Amino acid sequence: MPSNPSFAHRILGWATLTFGTACLLIVSYAFLGYGGGSSSLEGRLLPTAYRKEIPWRVFTPDMVTSGATIPTDTHVIFELPENIEPIARRTLFGSFDKDIRYWGYCLPEGYDQATAVQGQKLPGRVFLSEGERTAREALYKQKLNDRFSIPENLTEMDLNQLRKQPAGRIEHEFELFDPGSICYIMTQRPLTLGIDHDDDEMNDQTEKENGTDPLVADTDEDGLNDGCEYFRLHSSPIKRDTDGDGLIDSIEDSNHNCRYEAATETNPVQWDTDRDGLPDGLMKLGTGRNMKILGEDKNLNGTIDEKESDPRKWSSENDIVSDGERYYQCLMTGGTDC
């Protein structure tokens, strides 16, 4: 569908019927146990005879390209640009939060509205956030235990069907969005919507909001992609050394897998990983005459060399004296190479 000013008017002309029908089908799936949910999301999508009217928003391909924010409590329709690569769900919506709840639906290629409305199944594909899957799985298990469903008690045949359905999953669920897709979404919390020009798992709208460069995968040039730092490692994508301990983030995350692994790495968001009173790398502490330059990895190379203590261990000697205490004892006794 081309991007032009009439797009929003034309798409809203059939959106309510098309996506409204799809939403009600999904709600029915949830009530019958094929996914589950709560009144905070699916319940709001019941006909307006039962619920207050909910506003609609439409985001054109140009708006998706420039970046937008998906509001809460709103029926949102968006069309992806044709000239992009397939994009992962979490990148498209700018959220790796495992608790946030959102779900939606995309029309299939060659969609025929009249046929779809008359059908008994969803005509396209459904996507769910991790938080929505968890909620659906919990409700699924509850229905099996309570043997109750809306609007009436489940029969034994219904229960047998539920047991065959994978918990928390619904038919046609997908994770990768194709270019040109036209989709519907409703979310519990605001989501950034955008494409990912630099392929760093952080969409352009999220980058704009966090001060990173949407055209550069590693804005701070510390060896870790912006999305890796922001979403998984929770370090700063605009600071080479997030915790200020003298070690750049990629040295602390030595295998570059965007996870802090205590057995082999120091924590890039804590200046003193082992809490022994000494910085992991080398840094200034204090001011004026009380200022000292101290640390454990004195040459800042990420390895434990001779005359260096282990920044991952409270006591490198494995005794009752911390590395910090040992360092200050050395200073107090006149040591010059502590």
Question: How many folded domains does the chain comprise?
Answer: 3
Contact 80, 180 (CB under 8 A): yes
Write down the mean pLDDT value for the chain.
80
Domain-embedded: residue 204: yes
Specify the pLDDT at position 163.
56
19 pLDDT higher than 80: no
Residue 4 has pLDDT above 80, yes or no: no
Choosing from 168, 195, 222, the residue where a domain stops is: 195
- Please give the Cα distance from 199 to 84 (Å, whole number): 11
Percent of the chain with pLDDT over 70: 72
Q: Average pLDDT of 198-219?
A: 97
Per-residue confidence (pLDDT) for residue 257, from 0 to 100: 95
What pLDDT was estimated at residue 118?
Answer: 58
- In this structure, are 283 and 240 located in the same domain? no
Of 195, 229, 256, the domain-final residue: 195
- pLDDT classification of 59: cutoffs 50, 70, 90: very high
Q: Are residues 141 and 261 in the same domain?
A: no
My answer on whether 78 and 143 are in the same domain is yes
Same domain? 242 vs 282: no
Residue 149 lies in a domain: yes
- 123 pLDDT tier (thresholds 50, 70, 90): low
Q: Which of 113-117, 177-181, 217-221, 307-311 has the lowest mean pLDDT?
A: 113-117
Q: Are residues 245 and 222 both part of a single domain?
A: yes
Same domain, 80 and 219: no
For residue 1, is it within any domain?
no
Last-in-domain residue among 175, 195, 215: 195
97 located within any domain: yes
Tell me, yes or no, whether 2 lies in a domain: no
Could you give the C-alpha distances from 277 to 183, 267, 281, 315, in angstroms and in order? 53, 15, 12, 11
Contacts of residue 163, Cβ cutoff 8 Å, sequence gap at least 6: 144
Asked if 31 and 97 sit in the same domain, the reply is: yes
Residue 336 belongs to some domain of the structure: yes
Do 263 and 114 lie in one domain? The reply is no
Furthest-apart CA atoms within the chain: distance in Å? 88
Residue 163 maps to a domain? yes
User: CA torsion angle for 261, 266, 267, 273 (degrees, to 10)?
Assistant: 120
Same domain, yes or no, for 251 and 327? no
Q: Which domain holds residue 235?
A: 200-271
Same domain, 282 and 246: no
> Is it the case that residue 56 has pLDDT exceeding 70?
yes
Same domain, 101 and 225: no
* Integer Cα distance of 226 and 214 in angstroms: 9
Question: Is residue 289 assigned to a domain?
Answer: yes
Say yes or no: 31 and 149 in one domain: yes
**pTM for the full model?**
0.74
Residue 32 has pLDDT above 50, yes or no: no
pLDDT of residue 235: 97
